[in-house]
Amino acid sequence: MTESKAVKDTAIDDQGIIKGIEQLSPEKIERVINQVLKSETGARLKTYVDTCVHCGLCSDGCHYFLAHDRDPKYSPAAKVKQTLWEIIRKKGKVTPEFIENAAVVAYTQCNLCKRCAMYCPFGLDIAYVMSVMRRICHKLGVVPLYIQDTAHSHSVTKNQMWIKDDEWVDTLMWQEEEAQDEVENLRIPLDKEGADVFYSVIGPEPKFRAQLIYQAAVIMNAAGENWTMPSMPGWDNSDMCMYTGDYEMMERLKKAHFEAAANLKVKKIVMGECGHAFRSVYDMGNRALGWKMPPLEVIHAIEYYNDLFVKEKIKIKKKFDRPVTLHDPCNIVRGRGLHEMSRNIVNATCKNFIEMTPNREHNYCCVAGGGVINCGPPFKNARVDSGKIKAEQLFAAKAKGAEVVIAPCHNCHGGLEDIIHHYGIDMELKFFGDIIYEILELPE
Amino acid sequence: MSNNNSWDWDTGKRLVADLEPWHNEFSYMEEARISPHGENIAAIVKNEDMEFTICSQGADGSFITWENSYDKIWNLKYGPDNRLSALISDMAEWTVSTDDTPWENTYDFAWDMTFNPAGTHVSVSTQKELQYSVITNDVPWENSYSRLTDMALSPDGNHTAAVVETIPVLESEIFKFRKGCYSVAVDGTPWGTNFMNVWDPVFSWDNARVAASVRTNYQDYFIAVDGKTWNKSFTSVWMPRFSPVDKSVTAPVKTNGKWFLAKDGDIVWDRGYHQLWHHFYSRDGLKIAAIVASEFGKWTLAVDDTPWEITFSQYLTDAVLSDDGKRAACVFKDDNKWGIAVDGGAWEDKFDMAWKPVFSPDGRKVAAKVEINGAYHVVVDGTVFKTAYDHLESPVFSSDGSKLLIKGIEKNRYHREIISVKGGL
Ligand code: SF4
Ligand code: SF4
């Protein structure tokens, strides 16, 4: 095994990166880089890289920089310096060791959270630059093992967790049966043509959190929703290919997702509580395929739940009485502006709400986002260490009395769970679906 | 589709079933299915023992249920030959039942029930003890695999193909994965070649060959025919199709940032689109149509590489050519409304949803099912029929194009109606 510089520096042992680097030659690196820069980037990347005046105003926007005692290496501009800026300056003539470090930076030291873009006087989008770096690494075959494996799962099964077609349907039937113990004749209607709602989830739900599908079914049932879920691939709205840089697969996945819904002639897609999947369906994947906006109406669970309360389609027994705080996921807040709707739901469901500070579009990332958590155990310690700022936010909310953190995103749950555990914060994590299900008044 | 000449084409409206008694009888009833010829209707119900069975219309307005009942039934479907099939399970053993006759082979799970166009053959993907396979008309493949997806049935029903994992690869074995562990198995026997990924196998019209999309690494996408790739790779490809008239294979391919149509590896549509997919042939095989985005966010239909001038901003689907290939139609979404476009022009009325249009066999008329304010209507040549249905199947033309079969449920009453569409509406 090559003990290369980035590995030694960070004590990281990632076979995806280490072995990937071993298969590189300077010629291959130069060819792939120039192909990506020439045919896939254009004016946007050039403008970003040329416009940056290295003023450093973005630094304080980045939780990595703050969590590492303001180490300049972790500032957004320095991440560009360690990756694309150097690549462009050297016209692609960089070494395998350079690519190794660039891969570690792009995949594991940036959550693509776009917070820094709000503090840059020019609005430069460092997340985009890091995505270009990831695209180059993907084409070079230098991708952290765990997230690469997830992307491979997508390519074979069209879901993130290697779930086989039969396992998916079996899980839905199991959840339907379980829920029927609570609500007689409740259905998770499969392939119901012409339904109003096509409910899609991410791969980890059937694999690890099947109770979320159960809860969604109970809520849909209580709301009298005409809904469906597909029995065949296209049910998973998640997308790690977007984060590895495998855009051809991202396109294949989003096509399958939209077509699963369109073939059933549904009115809209309601997505479960996931942030990155929303980014993929609402921004990246749809546009890569040629749609300015999603071809069918797509709404996040937050919009759906908010609508249920606004239209009084569900009733609650009583409000959730433990004090809660709210984590604003980057992809649906900075990416879609759903922060006020989230608060509407909190106010409709919870007695005591304590704001986390900063919040809304200024909220800090959970440090799991952008596929960083999906890079797996080799990077876990570094990730959790970088969660110091998030931990401080949580401690502050706890000091004001918050006992429960609501995070309407799966990745955020993963990231916050690790932070809560590592920093000993003693708070409980919940989805909106957990809260609504708990206080829901079931119709007669 | 099976020939519909033998169906009852006498004009008039006939009550086939009153579903009110069904609802009164069964506390649990799923959505009803209607047979292609419209003579039968059925639904999954639970009987008084709370077991699943199938209810269908009996003689003189009554209803009957299957003699057998099960722990679970799903995927109830009428085949093109009007037989009724479903996936059934008892004691966690799954199989297919057609017209209440279950197959002998049982599995830990069965899914993806598929019919050939005549309806003579029914295939499903199966799993038993975590081994995956395919069974057709109760005759299983001899081989099974650790993973199987994308099952396809040949037009004559005598052959099946699927993407299979030929070299078992553990999760996280990313370098082994990159070397290629997937192939297509035809009737259970894999191609001799493995690929990093394989998708969408499809049979030739003579049932003898299979083509699929493959990639050999992250950059090189190919079309493979019977295991052999085209001699050129592309940035990406979509599902291939066999020509009905010669041995050629065509597929959408992406190169230099644009999408083209390629035939046996060579570009044949050279205009270059922002997107191009779902290409298909006219019945005589002489014309090819495809859904294209001429520019980012501008969707339309192209026939033989000539796109319509009209474009739609949101979605385009359900494209169809008349039998002679001279006319084309599709469903589109624009301005948050659904519509139907025929020969490059959009019908004036817009809908809450629209289904795949159908041409009369002579190509003179176009009909479709649409949804307006929560009710379903038939629309012919842009004229929306007044009758609003709670449930409606897509209309079917008689073979001479003079009559239309409408299968619709109004207030729980299912009627089969034949109307004349000869000489205008
Ligand atoms: S996108 Fe987020 S994680 Fe990446 S540099 Fe900017 S603030 Fe830091
Ligand atoms: S704030 Fe903007 S211009 Fe200043 S260093 Fe950061 S990215 Fe560059």
**B206 falls within a domain:** no
A102 Cα to chain B: minimum distance (Å) = 20
Residue type, B321: L
pLDDT of residue A357: 96
**B193 falls within a domain:** no
Cβ atoms of B240 and B252 closer than 8 Å: no
- What residues pair up with A89 in beta bridges, in sequence order? none
Residue type, A278: F
Quick check: A10 pLDDT over 80? no
The rounded distance, in Å, linking the Cα atoms of B318 and B354 is: 9
Contact A248 B111 (CB under 8 A): no
DSSP secondary structure letters along A47-88: HHHHH-----TTGGG-HHHHHTTT-GGGSHHHHHIIIIIHHH
pLDDT of residue A2: 38
Binding pocket residue ranges, ligand 2, CB within 6 Å: A 52-58, 76-77, 120, 122, 124
Which chain B residue shows the shortest CA-CA distance from A157? B149
Residue A191 — left, alpha, or beta (φ > 0 → left; ψ -120 to 50 → alpha)? Answer: left
Residue B255 main-chain phi, psi, to 5 deg: -150, 145
Q: Which of residues 149-208 of B touch A (CB under 8 A)?
A: 149, 165, 171-172, 174-175, 177-178, 182, 196-197, 199
Quick check: A394 pLDDT over 80? yes
Residue ending a domain, choose from B84, B102, B120? B102
State the DSSP H helix or E strand holding residue A111, giving kind and residue range, or none if neither.
Answer: none
pLDDT of residue B34: 98
Mean pLDDT of A377-383: 96
Of A148, A194, A296, the CB nearest to B315: A296
Q: What is the pLDDT of residues A164-218, one digit of tens each?
A: 999 999 999 999 999 999 999 999 999 999 999 999 999 999 999 999 999 999 9
% of chain B residues with pLDDT over 70: 99
pLDDT of residue A1: 35
The rounded distance, in Å, linking the Cα atoms of A291 and B89 is: 42
Contact B296 A292 (CB under 8 A): yes
- What residues pair up with A256 in beta bridges, in sequence order? none
Residue ending a domain, choose from B72, B102, B132? B102
Nearest ligand to the C-alpha of residue A372?
1
Q: Which of residues 386-425 of B touch A (CB under 8 A)?
A: none
Quick check: A434 pLDDT over 50? yes
Q: How confident is the model at residue A4 (pLDDT cuts 50, 70, 90)?
A: very low
The rounded distance, in Å, linking the Cα atoms of A10 and B182 is: 36
**B122 falls within a domain:** no
pLDDT of residue A3: 38
Residue type, A1: M
Higher pLDDT, B45 or A46: B45
| Entry field: residues in chain A | 444
Task: Tell me if chain A has a CB within 8 Å of the CB of B256.
Answer: yes
- Classify the C-alpha dihedral B272-B278-B283-B284 as positive or negative: positive
B173 secondary structure, DSSP code: -
A79 Cα to chain B: minimum distance (Å) = 26
**B48 falls within a domain:** yes
Q: Which residues, 6+ apart, have CB-to-CB distance to A227 below 8 Å?
A: A189, A192, A195, A196, A197, A198, A199, A220, A270
Find the A369 Cα to ligand 1 centroid distance in Å: 10
Domains located in chain A, CATH noted:
5-143 (1.10.1060), 157-310 (1.20.1050), 324-439 (3.40.50)
Quick check: A127 pLDDT over 70? yes
Q: In chain B, which residues have pLDDT < 50?
A: 1
**B236 falls within a domain:** no
Find the A56 Cα to ligand 2 centroid distance in Å: 5
Supply angle C-alpha A211, A207, B194, rounded to 5.
Answer: 160
What are all long-range contacts of B182-187, with beta carbons under 8 Å and residues at least 24 apart?
Answer: B182/A156, B183/B227, B184/B210, B184/B212, B184/B224, B184/B227, B185/B141, B185/B143, B185/B145, B185/B148, B185/B161, B186/B159, B186/B160, B186/B161, B186/B210, B187/B141, B187/B159, B187/B160, B187/B161
Q: What is the pLDDT of residues A246-270, one digit of tens each?
A: 999 999 999 999 999 999 999 999 9
**B210 falls within a domain:** no
Residue ending a domain, choose from B102, B120, B136? B102
pLDDT of residue B424: 58
Q: Which residues, 6+ apart, have CB-to-CB distance to A444 below 8 Å?
A: none
Q: Which pair of tokens denotes residue B276? A: 């191009």
Cβ atoms of A49 and A56 closer than 8 Å: no
Q: Which residues, 6+ apart, have CB-to-CB distance to B247 below 8 Å?
A: B204, B209
Cβ atoms of A269 and A298 closer than 8 Å: yes
Q: How far, rounded to the nearest angstrom, does the alpha carbon of residue A121 sit from its chain's CA centroid?
A: 26
Nearest ligand to the C-alpha of residue A114?
1
Using a CB-CB cut-off of 8 Å, the residues of chain A touching B165 are 156
pLDDT of residue B425: 55
Of B46, B125, B333, the CB nearest to A295: B333
Range of the domain at B376: 330-425
Q: Is the ipTM of this complex over 0.95?
A: yes
**B151 falls within a domain:** no
- What residues pair up with B211 in beta bridges, in sequence order? B202, B225
Smallest Cα–Cα separation from B183: which of B146, B233, B235? B146
Print burial letters for A201-225: b (CB count within 10 Å at least 16), e (below 16).
bbbbbbbebbebbbbbbbbbbbbeb
Using a CB-CB cut-off of 8 Å, the residues of chain A touching B27 are 185
The rounded distance, in Å, linking the Cα atoms of A174 and A188 is: 10
Strands (E), A253-361: 268-271, 297-300, 324-326
Q: Total domain count for chain B?
A: 2
**B73 falls within a domain:** yes
The rounded distance, in Å, linking the Cα atoms of B312 and A137 is: 36
Q: Which pair of tokens denotes residue A249? A: 């697969």
Quick check: A50 pLDDT over 90? no
Smallest Cα–Cα separation from A386: which of A60, A62, A57, A56? A62
Q: What average pLDDT does chain A have?
A: 95
Quick check: A6 pLDDT over 70? no
Q: How confident is the model at residue A12 (pLDDT cuts 50, 70, 90)?
A: low
CB atoms within 10 A of CB A118: 12
**Whole-prediction pTM:** 0.97
Using a CB-CB cut-off of 8 Å, the residues of chain A touching B72 are 173
| Pick among A173, A248, A249, A251 to test the B interface (most B CBs inside 10 A) | A248
The rounded distance, in Å, linking the Cα atoms of A253 and A256 is: 5
B246 Cα to chain A: minimum distance (Å) = 29
Mean pLDDT of A6-25: 79
A245 secondary structure, DSSP code: T
The rounded distance, in Å, linking the Cα atoms of B353 and B374 is: 9
Q: Is A153 in the pocket of ligand 1 (CB under 6 A)?
A: no
Cβ atoms of B138 and B151 closer than 8 Å: no
The rounded distance, in Å, linking the Cα atoms of B142 and A136 is: 44
State the DSSP H helix or E strand holding residue A260, giving kind and residue range, or none if neither.
Answer: helix A247-263
Q: What is the pLDDT of residues A204-236, one digit of tens each?
A: 999 999 999 999 999 999 999 999 999 999 999
